[in-house]
Amino acid sequence: MSHKVSVFRKEHFNAAHRLHNPAWTEEKNILIFGKCNNPNYHGHNYDLIVKVVGEPDKQTGYLIDLKMLSDLIKENVLEKFDHKNLNLDVPEFKDLNPSAENIAIIIYNILRDKIDKSLELQIRLYETERNFVEYPAN
Amino acid sequence: MSHKVSVFRKEHFNAAHRLHNPAWTEEKNILIFGKCNNPNYHGHNYDLIVKVVGEPDKQTGYLIDLKMLSDLIKENVLEKFDHKNLNLDVPEFKDLNPSAENIAIIIYNILRDKIDKSLELQIRLYETERNFVEYPAN
Amino acid sequence: MSHKVSVFRKEHFNAAHRLHNPAWTEEKNILIFGKCNNPNYHGHNYDLIVKVVGEPDKQTGYLIDLKMLSDLIKENVLEKFDHKNLNLDVPEFKDLNPSAENIAIIIYNILRDKIDKSLELQIRLYETERNFVEYPAN
Amino acid sequence: MSHKVSVFRKEHFNAAHRLHNPAWTEEKNILIFGKCNNPNYHGHNYDLIVKVVGEPDKQTGYLIDLKMLSDLIKENVLEKFDHKNLNLDVPEFKDLNPSAENIAIIIYNILRDKIDKSLELQIRLYETERNFVEYPAN
Amino acid sequence: MSHKVSVFRKEHFNAAHRLHNPAWTEEKNILIFGKCNNPNYHGHNYDLIVKVVGEPDKQTGYLIDLKMLSDLIKENVLEKFDHKNLNLDVPEFKDLNPSAENIAIIIYNILRDKIDKSLELQIRLYETERNFVEYPAN
Amino acid sequence: MSHKVSVFRKEHFNAAHRLHNPAWTEEKNILIFGKCNNPNYHGHNYDLIVKVVGEPDKQTGYLIDLKMLSDLIKENVLEKFDHKNLNLDVPEFKDLNPSAENIAIIIYNILRDKIDKSLELQIRLYETERNFVEYPAN
């Protein structure tokens, strides 16, 4: 049994995207991505839950100050993604399809560099209330 | 006191949009609409609640069959709006800003023609969990 | 403008039911009620919101003690409906189809007798998160 | 039928409070307010929904800019109430019991002075998911 | 650390059930299962979350097409369970008590046969908002 | 792969608290804990999810009777925490800061003694919808 604690912070952003593979024909894109391939884009209210795992500090009782974690997410993720077109406005998706899976991996990579290496990190991203992903899997 | 019943059906759609007034300068559009003016669009998961008011039928105990109401909304609203760019793909917003208020009014007008005139109708539209509108007001 | 306050208490119950009109043929029942006509019943987690409207008391700041309102709902509604088969176990539905509309009307009638006549009463009943009703309509 | 639109903005705050009537004996306070009379206070995550009703502006499609409404609520309500002890830190409750009903009336009175008189205003306040109030009633 | 992603799809169904062990006396059944032993059945809105774990495809950015996963759940689970009496209408529960634990195990077994063996599978089933189960445990 | 099942029971309590380290100066307390250091306390609606993991019983189909688990939580946790001031009314926090992390650890320790050692236990505690913790981490 672990003596570690997990803490979670929920944030959200609103963005447009389109699923598309430029190596494929238009027909194959429509076949695979359906309505999500609309060339004029569609959009979502993304809910993002960031999980951080480690040992709480004895002095504060905190694993990590959730206000600081929230600010970190706002500065590094929400500033880049909120009210944006993921395909056009976010360089990480220039050559990468903005599927929920890939968005979660990109957010993980952005935050992994900003959070102490002794702490484990996991991203849960809701594209809708019914479709969501986690990275890395546990 | 009314002896009428209200019934409600919740549906949802995902769409991209941009708030913009073409009669204004770029500066004024940014000043008024802020991040919502992003020329590349952003998007939302819209939750739509349709309320119908009237006297239930004695034979069925139904005011209106909610399966039929759901199908009516799917055929007339979701088909037009879901996974679409409201500004580019939906003719009603060609010259009308797709604010939550205007989207609710358009949905009301679409459904008002399809639902028996003896029944009252009201639209509630959630643009996000925190921002929502109703039309007509009561 | 009213100077009145509305207070709301949310409760829930789980019940089985079947929609059926004994005056109709089996074919017509299936045509009208579809899957809800299953002779072996199906069921729901019903969420019930009771709204009471009036002037708050100066001494307490309460319109009505919500603990007392909750107890009133438990004794008079939940005791009768929770973990029951509405068609077989609840006498009010012996000759009345347990549609969401009719369940709300029955709950209103039960509680109307127990709550001071100077207070207005309204029932909202969720059969599912997506299908719900209010009685009386406002 | 109204041609007006309602817009809603949801905010939240966390506060401690105690229900108590200093004109009563300790016994009567415990009898009436039960656990809510704890002299050391208890607390809630209050969810606040502000509803504004009127005619949308033709130029913007907005009834009211929800960013401005959100800022107005933050400056005038959340600054006073969030992470506070309502009985000790908020002057409006010096001689007024901070029941959900009274908190909603106080918030209404604060915001009524800040919002254009041509617009109707209503407050919904959730003390818990199961206990909530509206002022004024409609 | 895993390089795998988890994807989740939420569906729901409404069903009646009764908890009962035919090997026991009526008294023991009532003692153990309480209100859930009602011989006339009661019911629930079950929320079902299916989790699939594996490596996303480079061409699509998808681990699994959530539309396909949703259709798979609809055809193999919802068709059998929705608007049904689990005890009477679903053969898997002929000799198995339809507790939330057993329903989750049955759904797992149904879907395990339909989903690529290289992908891990987990079922979360909500009987109510407050009572839920996962299988297999992690 | 485990053949175990997890079952979850959700409860809630409302409490006041203050984050404070008596070994620090007032300035340092305000710097570290911000608004959470208010000497007059603030409060929360805490949502508590208790997870128990093990093998279901063949006779009942239950891992653990959720009514019994709910009663166990009510008697041992809610009685101590609900409508209380965590700093002043709960002895466990006399010398321990009532951060969400520490509240979850205390609840785990209380329940660990009451639940069969063959069953694993995990606590998830929501301080707000956006800030929550789990102990032990998995």
User: The domain that contains D123 carries what CATH number?
Assistant: 3.30.479.10
What backbone torsions phi and psi does residue D71 show, to the nearest 5 degrees? -65, -40
CB contact under 8 A, C62 and D99: yes
pLDDT classification of E136: cutoffs 50, 70, 90:
very high
Query: What are the helix (H) ranges across chain A?
Result: 26-33, 66-73, 79-81, 86-89, 100-112
pLDDT at residue B27, rounded to an integer: 97
Encode pLDDT of C95-138 as tens digits: 999 999 999 999 999 999 999 999 999 999 999 999 999 999 98
Q: Go through A41-61 and write b for each residue having 16 or more CB atoms within 10 A of its CB, e for each that does not.
A: bbbbbbbbbbbbbbebeeebb
Question: Which pair of tokens denotes residue E29?
Answer: 């059944």
Query: pLDDT class for D3, splitting at 50, 70, 90?
Result: confident
CA F33 to CA F25: how far, in whole Å? 12
- Res. F131 pLDDT band, cuts 50 70 90: very high
This complex has an ipTM of 0.95
What phi, psi does E109 have (nearest 5°)?
-65, -40
Q: Rounded distance, CA F115 to CA F112, Å?
A: 6
The reply to whether E20 belongs to the active site is: no
Number of domains in chain B: 1
Look up the domain containing E123 and give its range.
5-135
Q: Chain E residues with CB inside 8 Å of A100's CB?
A: 7
Please measure the distance between the N-terminal and C-terminal CA atoms of chain C and give it in whole angstroms. Answer: 15
* Cβ-based neighbours of B92, under 8 Å, separated by 6 or more: B106
Q: Which of A29, A121, A133, A138 to mutate to test the interface with E (most CBs of E within 10 A)?
A: A133
Residue D81 confidence class, pLDDT cut points 50, 70, 90: very high
- The per-residue pLDDT for E3 is 84
Q: Which of B40, B82, B128 sits opposite A14 (nearest CB)?
A: B128
Q: Tell me the pTM.
A: 0.96
Of D8, D62, D70, the CB nearest to B99: D62
Report how far apart the first and last C-alpha atoms of chain B are (Å, whole number). 15
C36 a catalytic residue: yes
Per the DSSP assignment, residues forming a β-bridge with C6 are C53, D134
Tokens matching residue B128: 């996000």
Query: B67–C21: do the CB atoms touch at under 8 Å?
Result: no
- Which residue in the list C12, C127, C129, C134 is annotated as catalytic? C127
Task: Provide φ and ψ at E47, rounded to 5°.
Answer: -100, 130
Q: What is the pLDDT of residue D2?
A: 65
Query: Does D132 lie at the interface with C, CB-CB under 8 angstroms?
Result: yes
**Cα dist. B87→B16, B90, D67 in Å?**
8, 6, 22
Reduced to 3 states (helix: H, G, I; strand: E, B; else coil), residue D39 is coil
- DSSP code, position E23: T
Q: For chain D, where are the E strands, in sequence order? A: 5-17, 42-54, 84-85, 120-126, 131-135
Classified as helix, coil or strand, F82 is coil
Condensed to tens digits (0 to 9), the pLDDT of residues F4-54 reads 999 999 999 999 999 999 999 999 999 999 999 999 999 999 999 999 999
Given CB atoms, is E118 within the 8 Å cutoff of chain A? no
Please report, in tens digits, the pLDDT of each residue of chain A (138 residues total): 568 999 999 999 999 999 999 999 999 999 999 999 999 999 999 999 999 999 999 999 999 999 999 999 999 999 999 999 999 999 999 999 999 999 999 999 999 999 999 999 999 999 999 999 999 998
Beta bridge partners of B47: B12, B126
Q: Does the distance separating the beta carbons of E105 and F62 come in below 8 Å?
A: no
Residue D1 pLDDT exceeds 60:
no
* Residue F17 contacts D, CB cutoff 8 Å: yes
- Chain B partners (3+ C-beta pairs within 8 A): A, C, D
User: Any bridge partners for residue C10, and if so which?
Assistant: C49
pLDDT tens, position by position, D24-66: 999 999 999 999 999 999 999 999 999 999 999 999 999 999 9
| Both tokens assigned to C44 | 């729901």
Torsional sign, CA B34, B38, B41, B42: negative
Question: CA nearest D5: which of D71, D48, D58?
Answer: D58
CB D138 within 8 A of CB D122: yes
Residue whose C-alpha is closest to residue B10's, from B50, B67, B61, B56? B50
How many residues are given for chain A? 138
Residues 6+ apart with CB under 8 A from B123: B48, B49, B50, B51, B104, B105, B107, B108, B111, B134, B135
Residue D65 contacts B, CB cutoff 8 Å = yes
The residues with which B5 forms a beta bridge, in sequence order, are B54
Before A22, cis peptide (omega within 30)?
Answer: no
> Among partner residues C16, C35, C83, which is closest to E82 by beta-carbon distance?
C35
Nearest residue to F16 via CA among F80, F88, F75, F78? F88
pLDDT of F1 over the 70 cut: no
* 3-class secondary structure, F37: helix
Region F110-135: what's the mean pLDDT?
98
By the CB < 8 Å criterion, does D8 face chain B?
yes
Flag if C133 and B10 touch (Cβ within 8 Å).
no
Question: Which of E12, E30, E42 best tests the C interface by mutation, with the highest count of C CBs <10 A?
Answer: E42
